[in-house]
Structures are given as structure tokens and as C-alpha cells.
Structure 1
């Protein structure tokens, strides 16, 4: 049959179909569509940076590790950063915790990461990631023990170290009594160093019922003395620090075959780092706990390795009990001038953290700020937060505090080996960076946000409203934002009440000026703050109610909250075992427990059309209310997943009683899938084409469709990924690829209400990911391919079969209409060929030319 290739533009737009997919393989797995992925900009990091490591031979190459959000690389000296671990999958989520990092001075292309999140009961993974292309790709070596990138003591290090004379050799410290390990083949295989005498005996609280402080930090850093050998030969002298209050620093003079405790070393504290000066001086900052949050005293010591003499050089020594109320963390040495060293406090939370600089190897120190008659202080710097204006947390502090602060948990402090005027330090909210440290004594230094490109936030709730900001986020630790511009950071707006972590945000669908949120509060420090917030200005201004549900604990709260469709009632379900689900009709001034048997800690949502309806779900049991949340009725729906179901469910906007349930989690019944109700939760139907789902959300409908686009994270046709359905779940399109998986991203997702195809994904440590269809998809007009005198879905299906090779021709003469896709000035058969290649994925962008 003859194929005509024509272009009619808008004259036939009414017949157009947007073919925005790459077609499935012959196995007929779910279709896939190329998406462009980026972060919604928060900047500033938004999480803890326990380690910064400069490459010592390649200028401007520097890496940073996070405790739960992967690792980053900068090739411009720390001005901007690139995430290296977006590829971490849902199943491999524990690899996102990086407990140590090493970059090879002999071969700067080589990078090593020690990965794993937890060594306690909910951890199960330890691995070394090896790269020969600066982290663009990795090979994985599994370890026979757990790694704790998000455990106490992650501030210590680095546990991984590359032999500077023979870079095929690496040593690695392990936690939980696993000791010291060695590799002689670039990290591919590892052997325990049997002769190493002390795996670390320190344990902070052996009786901790939270299973967090009752673990061993173990072997915490490895440092080579490069001058003890020559290039090509294994370094002879190695120093290793362990978490032990007695003997904590060990030395080998024969390449790691035998070891001894270094004579004369300090005791009673834990060595945070071991930094070797080009002059042969080992500098060690100490804290009296493992950190990173605490520590009530500390010191800085140096060891003259040639003489064996130890000297305390603390800026404020532990003997000064009136002023030393903190331990020491970061320490930096200037390779260009080894007499210049810097030290940082680890656990000084108030009034601020400290940094000191010495130009004589620690004999004398100059503080970065000092008191000038309480409460006044003199700063030798100014802070520039223009690229992350939220970092003042919307507060104006009174002296001696400043807004923002330098910060606490300063475990990593580094001087650029190629630029003595540049230093960086990591805090609990990202990296600060200074490029004019030569102005230290002048008091005119500028310290600016050094985390541009880092997005380490843990996302708890995402909402895309029909008007106002495109996105509103609830985040762990730093509350969240109104994202009116997705490409830049915003000021912090959730000032009052300050809920620390906003676990859930909602608005009234038919009254979108009314918003609610719930989160965490520590009543010990904020006795007058309640755990719910209300807004009548679309989130721009907030107030709190005068009360909260009876029995709320001193700390925490969290849970879910829902506003009914017109904003006249709110239902709140705290994440507290002993506090019931409650409703309020007066903006939180009073709370009344709901009736009907809704279990505590259920998840609650509102109907997006009918203001009388609310819904609740927990462990396979669904409940609905028709009286604005006062009473609930248990649904007769059967077969829903029970034990272990996290129950991420949502009601569809614009459709009364339309609910989708993504059960998530593991359960004893082996039931997961995706469930749909159109009668307000009275009954549910399980979709046959989805095996698993953890999150569900909705966005603007596809062109020509009336039902909103549905987005899920889950498994379709036995393939894990993020999916979109444009036809109410009948078919699915996979929208992510192997390079974009984002770890444990199962908290929340939502489509954009105003932009078709755009989806926002909440991750646990990778920030807010935003995906949009890649490239510009042209209008493609499919003619009457089967001769039934109509252009409909059957014709579309025939064209897909033709392009897949399932059929060789069409039943009737037809038109396939496209534009000039290769920009050669004519519309001809070559355009059809280009379009076919585009749909099959071998061409990724139109217009196209060879």
C-alpha cells in the first residue's frame, strides 16, 4: 500500500495525536518514554555533609560524601556539584549512605566509596564502589559486614585510604568489631588484616533501646606517611585510628604486617581524624564521644613522628573547663604552607560553631569570631546566603547568636591544595565555602553557600495545587517550601509554627487558599508550639491552633492531616501509638476523637469534591466518613494488603469517591499491586497490570484525555520503575531509566496540575526530583489505517504494530502525516524514517540531522 507523507499543521490539529512514547520491545513490556530529570532547586545541601575530600594532584577536583544522599563531585573547586548516585535503585537503597570516600592522587580518575546505611537491626548492606571515571560509573564489591553511613560516628574518618606510593593498595576501617581490611587490587577484593590488634571497644550506650547508640564505630581512619617509602613500593608507615578510650592510635612500620599502639598518645577521648603534614607531623582532633551531635569536651594534639613527642595544641584546651564545652571535629592542613592549619568545633551548638586558624602549626590560634563583651561578638567574616536564602530559617537571632549561624557538626574542614585562600567545611545543612581566607586577619572574609547542586533533603510530602505555586513540599528537618520558581531556591516560609519536619501538607480543593500541615515538635525546647499549622493565604502566612489532640508526646508527632474540600473541617492522625485520630472544625483550637474504630496512626485523606467525605486506611482496613470526619464507617472492601502495608492512598481531584491505593511495604499475604475505588472506598479493584506500587499521584490530563494522568512508583510487567498512565490505569509508560532511580523514593510523588507529563518525586536524601518528557514531541497525524472511515485508537495501535514489525503494511491506502523532522527543507520519505527511529529510541531529539 502507498504511504503519503504530508504536513498540514493546524488545519488538521483536531485529528492530531501526541505520540510521546518509545515503543515496547517484542516482548510487549510496558512502553517507555524518555524523560529529562533534574532537581527542584532547594540548594544549600539541606542535609549533613560529614566528609569533603580534595584530590591532591588534579586541580579543582573535589568530592563530598553525605550520610544518606549519595556522593557528589565538583570539577570547579567546589563552586558547583554533581550527584554521582542517582542510579541507586529502590532495592539497593542502602548504597546511598556513604561512610567513607577516597580519591586517588596517582590516578585522579579512580574513586572509591564505602557504602551502606546502617549497622543496626534495620541495616543489611556493606559494599565498596569502585570507579575509574571519577564516579560516572561504578563497579560494586560486596562486603561481608554492614556499613553505617547514617550511624553515629559517621563524622570520623576517612576510613578508606589509598596508598600514595602504590595505588593498587587500599586500607579500610570497619565498624562493629570487623577491624581493618586491605585490598591489593584496586578495591576489587578485600582481606581482613588479622594482625591488627584493636577493632575498637567504644560503645556510647550499650542499653539504648532505640538500637542506635549501642553500636561500635570501630576503626575510623587510616593515614599513610608517604615519605616512608618510594613511588611504586608499598608505603611502610601507616597510622590507624580506632574508637577506643584507651589506646586509639596504632602504627605499622612494615606496610601493615605488624602493629603497635603509638607510645605517649592521649587517652580518654576518641580521635576524629588523623591528618599527616608534609613536615611529618600527625594532627589529631579529639572528642569525648563519637559524635556527630554531641561531645562535651575535646582537644587537638600533634605528634612529631620523627621524635615521637605528643603536644596538646587545642585552641581551647579541655583543661579550660569554663570554656571548653565541646569536642573538636574538622582539621585542615595547607599543603602549600604546612604551618597553616585550621580546626573546627564538632559539638558547639550555642551560640555558634567555632573555627580557628593557626600560622605556626598550632602554637597560636586566631578564632573566626570572638566575644566583645557579652552578648556582643566580632566576626571576621560575612555570610552570603543569596543562593540559598532559606538558610536563615526565617529568623532574626539576637547576639551572641547570628542568623544564619556557621553551624554545628563540623566534621570536615578542608583547605584547597592548589589555592591556600580557599577552604570549605561541612555542617548539618550543607557546605560553606570561602575563597578569600587570605583576608582572615583583615576580618573581611566572605563565606558563602558551597552546596550549589547538592540536594540532600528527605522529602515527606508533595502537593501540586491548581493555582499559586507549582509545588509545595514538606521536608525532613528543614520544614519545606512554596516553590513558585522551580529553578531557584526560596526563602524559608514555614516559620510559625516551626514544625521542623512537615510530614504532611494538604489544601482544600474547592477553596485553595486554605492549607494545613502537620509535623514534629520538641516541646522541651518549644513548649508553646503545637504540631499543626493553618493558612488562609495559600501557604504564604501560617498560624497554629490553640491546642492539639490530648496525650501528644513531648517530642515528635508527625502523621497525616487532611482538609475537606471546602476548608471547613480538618482530620489529623498523629503518628503516635496512643493518640487517636481527631477532627477539628475551628482550625485546631479544639480537637475531638473521631468515632467508628479508625485505628491510631492511620493515614487520612479527603475527598477532592465532596466536603463531607474523608477517608482513612491502615493495614488492609479502609474507612470512610460522610459527616466531615466526625464518624467513620469501616469499608466492606476485602483482599487489601494487611500487615506491613504503608498505605499510600489519594483521592483524585475533580472526581467524587475516586481513590487509588498504593499499598507499598511487605506483607504476609504477598499482596501488593495497585488498587482503585470509584465508590468512595466501599469497594476496591486490583489492577491486573501492576505487580507492586509504593506511591501514587495525579497530574494534568494528557491532550485529548479527561482523566488525570496517574503516576506511580512500582513494578509493571515485572520491571521496577516510575510509571505514568494517561488512560486511568489501562496502560502504563515507564518514564525513568537506569541512570535515574533515586534510591528509596517511596515517601510521595505527584504530577503537576498545570503541566502535562511533569512529575515530582520525593526522595529520601536526593531531594525533589522533577521529570518531564525529553525533547519536543511533534504532532503526528495518523490517518484511517484500517478502512473503517474513522481515525481512532485502532489506527494508533496499527501504527505501533507496523513500527514494531508485527505487520508489514496497512489494510488500506493511508496518510502518515509528519513535519520536516530532519530540517532538510523538504517533507519526504526520509522524515518518516527519522520519525520511526525517534519512536524506537535510536534518535533522541527532533529536529534531527546526520
Structure 2
């Protein structure tokens, strides 16, 4: 369900420059990553930004409370960054939008773990990365600002088992000491608050080359202290894949000497070879440990819950609960209190549907002797669907036992009445926006709606109010929305394409999105679900559909029939989907522009533009575009836009530079401002110009549209704006609003200075 988002997080802004890999190290040799990368401010004109409301939608993989400071709470997501709860406004504050999360950093919106300093509630640590070696971000002001260190091990915040435990742990007795349970390289430790890291070879020095769950997490025995050396006693959970690769005899280990050496603890035979998604410790020293056959997310069972004696009774195991079937696994786990009145909240993941007898969250108020279901069969919020799904983290508020939260595939639910016979639940997603937009289109001035939003997982929706969740879409079951367009002469007509169940299809609406009709047919190639596909509307009932890896077709009857154009067929290059970018001239419905970006950096095939003067039926190659020498780049790193106020006025971003044509694509002028940032690779570390959009011009401007480009000028990445057709530029965003890189922009036609942008799985945001 969320695997789709991996590609979005990595590709939404072009090439992601990953931190250089650091070699592994033994206990006696520090890893080569000691230089702190300070993130300096270089911005100019800052603006204010708000989220276009959708509400949650994405997978929140962990909730992290400060152990002693009330209401200090963080949420991490698999691809959409991290958030801090603001109890004063009852809203989440995004904390990964600014410095350190720019165009080269989209993959670091995949947050694998968060840890808080138990002695200083201002300090927060975050490990992030989607592939390759990760980063440790550190903050002394609750995430308002960040610095980071490169890490010497692989981090995969959007991989399997991403809600297991918290891999990063800070020693409660000595916060300068921290441990990380890595996926491929065993257990690591740091004695200088994350600046340098050492592999704790006492557990294992095994390195795994393939994707793995690895060491899952670590738990400190908080009642034992080694003074300035930190906590002596700790427990570690190891996934079956790493235990097998390292030749370990158990998946559960104990250290009595601060992590230098480890002793295997046999687990009950029923859970041999199982994952340990969560371990929690009650104040009386007992451990509650969930076991599950699979790693998740949304893992099936069987699942088991045990109480472990730790140092209290020599380490005995007591079975408290077992799942009755294989389709509901145990994952989320939290405890409150001690002894025979310990409250236990146990999440049942891999549940689909809500019906009598279904288990979603089980609650015990007597240490696990008896249980009751507290989520299933509750009233649902109509616009946000279900409670069930991926219940992979559960948290009881440390300061209020009746306040319980749980995550699921669409965000967070909470109750303040957990002790009631039938607790009431509400969504806790205010200002969490984790959709992955694939296309945005704004209508002409005066339309009854603000924009059309096509996103991964949730389909296409028409937004009439930026402050409330949209309700105008073809169906709630629509999966990925790939593209949409509007008839400029009649904005009530909208055509959209997307996919569901791995099959592409389209819809049209003739009443601004109030009602929808599915296209009677799909054109040849239209069933390809790849998100490179797109559509252009020339007039009511008339559209051109460019499928991924195929030939565009046109319709004059809202999809009842389709006819292939004469454009050459495109094919994927190295597995990268390829398509023509289409744009309809807004002043002359007979003109349509089709841009072939070349497909990939390594294709050797330069970009080129084709022009139609018969409504997109036949096209002619623009020899001027061939002469311009457009760089080859993948579909996602390029853009094509028309000035809605002037016929034949076309703009193009080829990934590296910006080009402008004032004669319907006959000739093209390259603007000299934009240039990619190059490293040691044959592709750009940061694309010089990946998006172009045109919106309402300011009064008295010399050019009829405001031009916005996502790219690099003088080595500085950002959104750049010009009111004089590119003669001069100012940076439109600032370093506090980078959103993990910006992959989409649409400009408003009613309000000068308002643009809609999509960052790395941060939903849609708009400028004020």
C-alpha cells in the first residue's frame, strides 16, 4: 500500500545526493564521520506557507513521548518527515521542512527512528534515510532547527519492519551515550552524542549486503547505572534474518556491561524465529514483549505477548496472550502502572475490515489476565475511513492513562476515554499531510474550485476549500491519480487519469467535479499504470492522453473512442517509465505541445518538442527544439508549461536549464540563469531546472504572467520567481520552507504570488 511512496520520496526532485558511505568500524576504531555539517541560512525573501488540507493519509511509523515532560510528543513517518505535537494549537508542527531537507535531501524524509534526551526535553535525535548510509539529525530546540552527522551504516526508513521498536536509544543515565540497532551491520554505539560511531562487535560484526530487518531495537534496564559510564544492563532484540546470518543462537540478548558483551536469552519455543516488534518496561521492572511471525508493516500473525521477569525473577517468561489466527499479528504495545493493575494496550496489526469479533486494539487493566477490545465496532469518521490496518505502534500517554493513541495506514487515532466501556476515538492528524502528489493543475481565474490534486494512493480530488479535506473525486476507491487537466474555455470540464489494481483508466466530469463518468474505453497503452502518463484537455469532451511507454491518443467524445496520434512510440529506458509531457495552448485550442524529455540521463537521446495545430491529432517535430540541444532527463525531472494569456508562449525545463518559445515552439531561447549542481556522478546532484509554472502577474508587470521555476541559480537551489519573462529572478521560498525538495508547482490564476507545491511526500502546500 505504501511501497509506492518510496519512488516519490527519492525522485520527486530529481537526483538525491546521498551522504557518502562510511566504512564500518570495530569497537576500538571510530567511523569516519566526525565532521558536523552545519546548515547555514542563505535565503532571501521568505514567505509563509500552509498545507492544503487532506488529513493524514500516510503511514505514521512511530509515536515518541518524552518520559517525564508532559505533552512533549513526536511522530515519525515512512516518507513524509517528522512532526512535533503542539498542545496549545492542537496541531502537529512539521519539523523536517527546513534546513537540511532541501533538493538533495528528499530521501531523508524517510525517518527510521527518533530518540529524546530523558534529561533535557529540548534535545531530540532523529535517524533518517531511504537507502544507503543515513544521517543522524540532532536538535537542541525540539526540532525547530537541525544539524546532522553522516552515519556509517545503512538506514531504510521506508523498508519492511519500519515500525519495529525505536532503533535509536539514548542512555537515560548518560545521554551522551547512545545505541543504534542497524538493519545490516548489527549494533552500534556512540559516546559523544552521535558524532562518532563504533560497531558493538560483542553482539556481532556480521555485515549483510541485502535488505534486512537486522537488530530491531534495544531496551535499557533503567534501574541499573554505571555512573558516568551509563547504564550497565540492557536487552537487545534481533530479527531472524540477522540472527541467521550472524549465527546467533537466539533473537533476544542481554548485556551486563554496558553493551560490551552479550548473552543469548532463550525465548519460548512457540516464538523461536519470530520478530520482536516492541519491548516495553513497566515501573516495577517487568518487561512486556510482543512477538510476531512477520515484520510488517501490517503484518499477519500468529502473535504472542509475554511478560519477562528481567532482573526481578531470574528471567522467567509468562504468556499473557496469543492471537487466535494467522491474519492478525501483534505489533503495537504500551504499558502504564505496575503490578497486578498494570494497564496494557496491545495493537493487532494486519487487520482488514471492522466487524463483530474483530480485534484491533486489546486492553488489559490487570497485567494481562483479562482483555477487552476497545477499538473495533466504533463509529467511523466518514471522510477518513477506518481504524483498522497497520496498528504497528500504540502509546499510552505517560501522564494520562486514559489517553491512548494508535497509528494505522492513514495516520493516528486517539481516545481520551480508554477506561470507558466503549471508548470514543477521533483522528489526531491536524496538520499531518503525507500524501504524495503526482500532478497539480489550477483552473482559469473565476472557476468554482481552487485546484485539482492527483496523488499516489488516494487518487484525484478537486479542492474547493484549502482548509478542509476535499470531497469531490470520482470514487473513494480510486488508487493513484497520475494526471488531470481542465478545459480553459470551460473550467467545469475536467479529465483525469490514474490507476487502480495496477491498471490505468480515466474519468471525466462536466460539472466541476460534482459527478464523474468513467471513460468508456482506454486508448492503446492506457492501461499502463506508470505515473509518467498524463493528459491534456483542449476543449469540452476533447483530450489527448499520453500513456507511459507508448503512443498518445486523442478523443473528441470524452473517451468513447480514441485514435492514435502520429507521435513516435516511447519506451522505458533502464526501467524508468517514459512519456510525452502534454500541454494545451490556452488561447488556441487547436495547438497542443508534446515534449519528449529523452527518458534518462544516460539515454544519449536529446529532448525534443512536437507541435500540433489540429487539436492534438497530428504532430510535427520542432526543429528549433532539436537545435536547442535539450538535455536528456527522466520524465519526473522535467516540465512543460504554457502562458494562459498569450497564444504560442511556451516554457520548458529540461532538468538542467530553462527554455522559452514565443512562437509556438518554432524556436527556443535558453535562459542563462539556471544550472545543475554536479558532483562525481554522471547525473546532477541537484537538478538545475526541474519545474516551471505560470500564474497571475502583478499589476503593471512587463510580462503577462508570473513565472516560477524550481532550480538552481548561482549554486543556490529554490523556487525562483520572475515578473519580466526571465530577465531577472528572486528566490521565492526560503531555507525554512524546502519540504525535502519540491517536485511539483502549480500557480494560481486568481492571486499573484500564490503557488501550490509538493515536497517529498509532504502533501500540497501553498504560499500566502
Going from structure 1 to structure 2, the CA distance change for 1:294 and 1:680 (only over 3 Å counts) comes to farther
Paired residues of 1:561 and 1:605 also in contact (CA < 8 A):
no
The within-5 A match list for 1:821-832 is: none
Paired residues of 2:438 and 2:531 also in contact (CA < 8 A):
no
Tell me the TM-score normalized by structure 1.
Answer: 0.76
The within-5 A match list for 1:365-514 is: 365-368=371-374, 379=377, 381-383=378-380, 385=381, 390-391=383-384, 404-439=385-420, 442-443=421-422, 445-465=423-443, 466=445, 467-486=447-466, 488-496=467-475, 498-514=477-493
Paired residues of 1:712 and 1:723 also in contact (CA < 8 A):
yes
The within-5 A match list for 1:443-842 is: 443=422, 445-465=423-443, 466=445, 467-486=447-466, 488-496=467-475, 498-522=477-501, 531-550=505-524, 556-575=529-548, 577=549, 579-599=550-570, 601-618=579-596, 619=598, 620-636=607-623, 637-638=625-626, 639-644=629-634, 646-664=637-655, 672-691=656-675, 692-705=688-701, 706-746=703-743, 748-772=744-768
The residue number in structure 1 matching 2:6 is none
| Residue 451 of structure 1: how far off its partner (Å) | 1.4
Give secondary structure in 2 for the equivalent of 1:390: helix
| Residue 561 of structure 1: how far off its partner (Å) | 3.2
State which of 92, 98, 110 in structure 2 corresponds to 1:97: 110
CA displacement 1:534-585 (0-9 Å, x = unmatched): 01011222111122134555x834334334332242111223x3x4322222
Paired residues of 1:584 and 1:591 also in contact (CA < 8 A):
yes
The residue number in structure 2 matching 1:780 is none
The residue number in structure 2 matching 1:116 is 129
Going from structure 1 to structure 2, the CA distance change for 1:235 and 1:356 (only over 3 Å counts) comes to same
Paired residues of 1:530 and 1:545 also in contact (CA < 8 A):
no
| Residue 145 of structure 1: how far off its partner (Å) | 2.3
- Structure with higher Rg: it is 1
- For 2:230 and 2:512, how far apart are their aligned partners in 1? 64
| Residue 648 of structure 1: how far off its partner (Å) | 1.1
CA displacement 1:766-808 (0-9 Å, x = unmatched): 2212113xxxxxxxxxxxxxxxxxxxxxxxxxxxxxxxxxxxx
- For 1:626 and 1:409, how far apart are their aligned partners in 2? 51
State which of 103, 127, 143 in structure 1 corresponds to 2:151: 143
The within-5 A match list for 1:158-173 is: 158-173=166-181
State which of 287, 294, 297 in structure 2 corresponds to 1:292: 297
State which of 337, 342, 364 in structure 1 corresponds to 2:370: 364
- For 1:418 and 1:495, how far apart are their aligned partners in 2? 44
Deviates more, 1:80-89 or 1:453-462: 453-462
- For 1:704 and 1:339, how far apart are their aligned partners in 2? 70
- For 1:625 and 1:551, how far apart are their aligned partners in 2? 21
The within-5 A match list for 1:151-190 is: 151-176=159-184, 178-190=185-197
Going from structure 1 to structure 2, the CA distance change for 1:353 and 1:603 (only over 3 Å counts) comes to farther
State which of 312, 330, 333 in structure 1 corresponds to 2:335: 333
| Residue 354 of structure 1: how far off its partner (Å) | 0.8
- For 1:598 and 1:614, how far apart are their aligned partners in 2? 17
Deviates more, 1:61-70 or 1:240-249: 240-249
Paired residues of 2:583 and 2:642 also in contact (CA < 8 A):
yes
Deviates more, 1:534-543 or 1:296-305: 296-305
State which of 252, 258, 262 in structure 2 corresponds to 1:259: 262
Paired residues of 1:497 and 1:544 also in contact (CA < 8 A):
no
Give secondary structure in 1 for the equivalent of 2:223: helix
Paired residues of 2:189 and 2:198 also in contact (CA < 8 A):
yes
| Residue 180 of structure 1: how far off its partner (Å) | 0.7
CA displacement 1:162-186 (0-9 Å, x = unmatched): 111222211111112x111111122
- For 1:556 and 1:599, how far apart are their aligned partners in 2? 15
Aligned residue pair count: 675
Going from structure 1 to structure 2, the CA distance change for 1:155 and 1:596 (only over 3 Å counts) comes to same
Deviates more, 1:455-464 or 1:72-81: 72-81
- For 2:476 and 2:64, how far apart are their aligned partners in 1? 38
| Residue 38 of structure 1: how far off its partner (Å) | 2.1
Paired residues of 2:334 and 2:346 also in contact (CA < 8 A):
yes
Paired residues of 1:49 and 1:65 also in contact (CA < 8 A):
yes
Tell me the TM-score normalized by structure 2.
Answer: 0.84
Paired residues of 1:547 and 1:590 also in contact (CA < 8 A):
yes
Paired residues of 1:598 and 1:623 also in contact (CA < 8 A):
no
Give secondary structure in 1 for the equivalent of 2:419: helix
Q: Which ranges in structure 1 are unaligned for 5 or more consecutive residues?
A: 1-29, 119-123, 204-213, 371-378, 392-403, 524-528, 665-671, 773-850
Paired residues of 2:281 and 2:288 also in contact (CA < 8 A):
yes
CA displacement 1:506-533 (0-9 Å, x = unmatched): 101111111011112106xxxxx86111
| Residue 732 of structure 1: how far off its partner (Å) | 0.8
RMSD, aligned CA: 2.4
Give secondary structure in 2 for the equivalent of 1:406: coil
- For 2:346 and 2:732, how far apart are their aligned partners in 1? 47
